[in-house]
Amino acid sequence: MSSLPANKRSPTITDVAAAAKVSRATVSRAFSQPHLLSAETVARVTAVAAQLGYVPNHTARALSTGRAGNLALMVPDIGNPFFTALMRGVQTRALEADYATFLGDSDENPELEDVLIAKLSAQVDGLIFAAPRLSDEALTAHAHRKPLVLINRDLPNIPRILIDTASTYAVAMEHLISLGHRSIAYVEGPPLAWSNAQRLKAVRSVARKHGIRLIRIPTARPTFECGQASVRELIDSGITGALAYDDLMAQGIMAGLASHGLSVPDDMSVIGCDGVLATRAYPPLTSITVHCAEAGEQAVDLLTDLLQGRAASSTTRLVLPTEFVIRATTAPPPRGHAHGMLPRTEPNDTPAQDFTRGDSATHPRTE
């Protein structure tokens, strides 16, 4: 019936120029460089424009200025709250800087990642890759074509924001060890993820230092289901504490343990990472708090700096700190397993001051 999108061609700069009896250049200036015009001209033009319902055509503007006014964020999995939080930070900051945001979800698939990048990079001024799964070479190649900021990937000559979880995983390990755990598992994240490698290294080094048995449990994807599926192996291996790659997997592990009739933390201690789901678990999850949204904001800042040729050289390397927060999923190992007993900690939801990282990492650090 009423064929909705009314086909009345929207007014162009020429229409406004005619109506306001000025040149097209003047209309253009009224919108983009008003200070070049007399106040009264600006007033008249904008009035006429408003009356006609004129809005500058974004595409035309993009073509002639060469600036798209858009940026793209690529994430491996928007299903993961870590990335949705990141996305929020990006969108907020992008909007403040007057950019619109494309979102690409690569579904952990490097090839889809490439396809999406190809599709998006044509219409953006810059890209943000969060935890990309692409190869170093592919990333470097992309960085040569478009301004690019990485999050959680450490490549020389590409500006990047790194979330330092490694040192906090070390703290978490120490925490488990101080509770008396002697046999601990690290439930791994994606093999291609930088952060997985970092965390593994940190955890290994602490285990070695204390002579603790550490087992690695590889998983297909960082999902609830994979966490859940790892439980069989966790139980069989006889460990008493599990460090998961992230909160989502930790939650899966908790659910898996529960369905095996085991309770957390009495039968097993579990620690997550990201902090995004920690308070949504029951009992609340001891976890590493990551300021995801802040990482997104910083990425946008870095990118806009880059686009405006400000500071931010391509060697910028920003490291964001994280905090270890003890909640209710860590406790001494069960009697049968304990090699050292400590008083039972009281579940609480406030940051454990003793374990919060010191000044050295409290503020972003540029190198």
Interacting residue ranges for DNA, rule: CB under 7 A: 9, 12-14, 21-26, 28-29, 31-33, 36-38, 40-41, 54, 56-57, 60-61, 63-66
Task: Report the distance separating Cα 290 and Cα 151, nearest Å.
Answer: 13
Nearer to a second copy, 98 or 359 (CB): 98
Question: Looking at 76, 104, 180, 275, which residue binds a second copy (CB under 8 A)?
Answer: 104
Task: Report the distance separating Cα 352 and Cα 44, nearest Å.
Answer: 62
- Min dist. Cβ of residue 337 to a second copy (A): 23
Task: Report the distance separating Cα 61 and Cα 146, nearest Å.
Answer: 20
Which one of DNA, a second copy, none interacts with residue 291, CB within 5 to 8 A by kind?
A: none
Interhelix angle 247-259/81-96, rounded to 10 degrees, is 150
- Min dist. Cβ of residue 77 to a second copy (A): 9
- Min dist. Cβ of residue 49 to DNA (A): 10
Q: Segment near a second copy (CB under 8 A), from 4-12, 188-196, 234-242, 355-363?
A: 4-12
Residue 35 Cα to chain centre, angstroms: 39
Range 245-264, binding a second copy (CB under 8 A): 251-252, 254-255, 258-259
CA distances in angstroms from 353 to 67, 278, 323, 356, listed in the order given:
47, 18, 9, 5
- Min dist. Cβ of residue 35 to a second copy (A): 24
Q: Name residues whose C-beta falls within 8 Å of residue 321's C-beta, 6 or more positions apart in sequence.
A: 164, 357, 361, 362, 363, 364
Question: Looking at 19, 62, 319, 361, which residue binds a second copy (CB under 8 A)?
Answer: 62
Provide the strand spans (E) within the chain.
70-75, 100-105, 126-130, 148-151, 160-163, 183-187, 213-217, 241-244, 269-274, 286-289, 317-320, 323-325, 365-366
Which one of DNA, a second copy, none interacts with residue 29, CB within 5 to 8 A by kind?
A: DNA
Range 299-328, binding a second copy (CB under 8 A): 306, 313-315
Task: Report the distance separating Cα 139 and Cα 320, nearest Å.
Answer: 22
| Binding track over 140-159 against a second copy, x by CB under 8 A | ---xxxxxx--------xx-
Which one of DNA, a second copy, none interacts with residue 317, CB within 5 to 8 A by kind?
A: none
Instruction: Supply φ then ψ for residue 332, to 5 degrees.
Output: -60, 155
Q: Which of 269, 274, 249 is closest to 324 using CA atoms?
A: 274
Contact set with a second copy (CB under 8 A):
1-6, 55, 57-60, 62-63, 68, 70, 78-79, 81, 84-85, 87-88, 91, 95, 100-105, 107, 115-116, 119-120, 122-123, 143-148, 157-158, 224, 251-252, 254-255, 258-259, 279-283, 306, 313-315
